[in-house]
Amino acid sequence: MSSAVATQETVAPAVEEQDKPPKEPRGFNTFEFALMAPTLALLALLSLVPFFTLIAMSFSDVRTLGRIRLEFTGLENWVDVFTNPAFWASWGRSLIYFTSIIVLEMVLGFAFAVVLNNLIRGRSLLLSVVLLPMFLAPVMVGLLARFLLDSTIGLYAKMLAGVGFDTDVFANPSTAMPAVILIDVWEWTPLVALIMLAGLTSVPPSTLEAAAVDGAGFFRSLFNIVIPQMKAVILVALLVRSMDAIRYFDVITATTNGGPADATKIIPIRLYEMAFRFNNQIGQAAVVGLTMLVFSIALANVFLRFFGDREVARAHVAGGDH
């Protein structure tokens, strides 16, 4: 008896094992990976090679005349950069700039998207008009701003003077940074609005109708139904804009060149100076570049933590396993 039971117990798992589909090979040990390998190799070439080179440069004195030569200098570049108050001042300005544009662009972009989403007539036309600024090259936007705000010939400068604000905005450290922030917001809020609009249109109307039937008002629906369902879209907008904002360069170069009094010298401008203008500071520029990379990765992780839908992601992974 006991042996029969034992036999049954040992047979049953064996049958279950036979019913299960064979375990699929995963990871690098697959045909799919082999198909992707050439592209991955190319990507590795384009990203890993510069990355490792950058790390090597950050520990070296880099000479470029004639041919590139790296002489190992240990932590010298890192110490020089991290003990330079101007480097931290640039990071401070970068954070002010970064926070300002992300907050303004996300809020304004969402507001535009809500308005556009609720329009019944003329939505396409208005959307086209709203999107226009983002089709301009940033350097063109910078030059336009410089000319429009030029105190000698600028239309906007005359208009501002007409309402009593006759300070040259790029001449004053307290107005130069807000000016370049607003220029960026003007250009890139439309992109955020477009992404948000795509998210808004994907919210099922039936859910909103059900909420309305249950007595939810506009703002309650917005904050309790729409925004939670748009977390993935908000994440995309945040990642796109923040990665771009960290390397903001063109507009400042075309308008203030980092001035006045370094008021707009954010970290990419300092990096450019060290790498391409100053003599033999490429090693230090590599250190600055690596700090930007670390900041980008950390920021992306923070955004993923707050806006990434981990449950959905886990469900996707689990579904994939079956």
Partner 1 sequence: MTSLSNPFTRRRFLTGAAGTAALLALPGCGEQTQTPTGSQGGGGDPWKQFSGTSINMISENTPPTAAIAANPGPFEQLTGIKLNIQQMELDKVVEKVKLDFSSGTAQNHVIYADPYQILAPLADGLADLKPLIENKDYPPVEKGIEDFIPTQMDALGKYLDADKIYALPYDAPTMILHYRKDLFEKYADKMQSDLGFDPMPSEAMTWDQYYSIAEWFNKNAKSDVKYGTGHQAKQHDSLQADFSNVLWAYGGDYFEKGQELGGISSEDPGAVTVGSDPGVQAATFYKKLIKIAHPSSTTWDWTGLADAFLAGQIAMCPNWHEFAAGEEKQFPGKIGYALLPKGPARRAHNFGGTGIGINGNAKDAELGAAWLFVNWATSPETQLMTLGSKVGGGTPTRNSVYELPEVQAEIDKSPSKYPNIRTAPTVLKAWEKENIGLRPKVPQWVQLNTIIFTELSKMLTQDGDPAATMASMQDQMQKAMQ
State both tokens at 272: 């450019």
> Can residue 74 be called a binding residue for partner 1 (CB under 8 A)?
no
x/- mask, partner 1, residues 191-230, rule CB under 8 A, reads: ----------------------------------------
x/- mask, partner 1, residues 138-167, rule CB under 8 A, reads: ------------xxxx-------------x
> Can residue 278 be called a binding residue for partner 1 (CB under 8 A)?
yes
Q: How far apart are CA 274 and CA 276, in angstroms?
A: 6
Please report how the helices 123-131 and 85-118 are oriented relative to each other, as an axis angle in degrees rounded to 10.
170
Choose, by CB under 8 A, the member of 82, 218, 223, 276 that binds partner 1: 276
Nearer of residues 197 and 263 to partner 1, judged by Cβ = 263
Cα atoms in the Cβ-side hemisphere of radius 13 Å centred on 277: 8
Tell me the C-alpha to C-alpha distance, in Å, between residue 9 and each of 14, 22, 267. 9, 22, 68
x/- mask, partner 1, residues 18-37, rule CB under 8 A, reads: ------xx-xxxxxxxx--x
Contact 259, 188 (CB under 8 A): no
Instruction: Please report, as a single letter, which amino acid is at residue 223.
Output: F
Contact 245, 184 (CB under 8 A): yes
Nearer of residues 49 and 111 to partner 1, judged by Cβ = 49
Q: What is the DSSP letter of 223?
A: I
> Can residue 45 be called a binding residue for partner 1 (CB under 8 A)?
yes
Choose, by CB under 8 A, the member of 64, 118, 207, 301 that binds partner 1: 64
Contact 106, 192 (CB under 8 A): yes
Choose, by CB under 8 A, the member of 7, 224, 257, 301 that binds partner 1: 257
Residues 171-190 that bind partner 1 (CB under 8 A): 171-173
Q: Which stretch binds partner 1 (CB under 8 A): 110-118, 210-218, 278-286, 289-297?
A: 278-286
Q: Which stretch binds partner 1 (CB under 8 A): 9-17, 41-49, 89-97, 286-294?
A: 41-49
The three-state DSSP-derived secondary structure of 142-180 is: HHHHHHHCCCCCCHHHHHHHHCCCCCCCCCCHHHHHHHH
Nearer of residues 7 and 30 to partner 1, judged by Cβ = 30
Instruction: Please report, as a single letter, which amino acid is at residue 93.
Output: R
Q: Which stretch binds partner 1 (CB under 8 A): 125-133, 209-217, 236-244, 251-259?
A: 251-259
CB of 265 to partner 1, least distance (A): 8
Compute how many other C-beta atoms are within 10 angstroms of the C-beta atom of residue 151: 15
Strands 60-63 and 69-72: antiparallel
Helix (H, G, I), strand (E, B) or coil at 178: helix
Choose, by CB under 8 A, the member of 70, 115, 198, 211 that binds partner 1: 70
Distance of CA 40 to the CA centre of its chain: 23
CB of 256 to partner 1, least distance (A): 7
State both tokens at 287: 């250190």
CB of 239 to partner 1, least distance (A): 25
Choose, by CB under 8 A, the member of 148, 262, 290, 307 that binds partner 1: 262
DSSP H/E element including 199 = helix 173-201
Report residue 256: phi and psi, to 5°: -110, -15
**Where does this chain bind partner 1 (CB under 8 A)?**
24-25, 27-34, 37, 40-41, 44-45, 48-49, 51-53, 56, 64-70, 150-153, 167-168, 170-173, 256-263, 273, 276-281
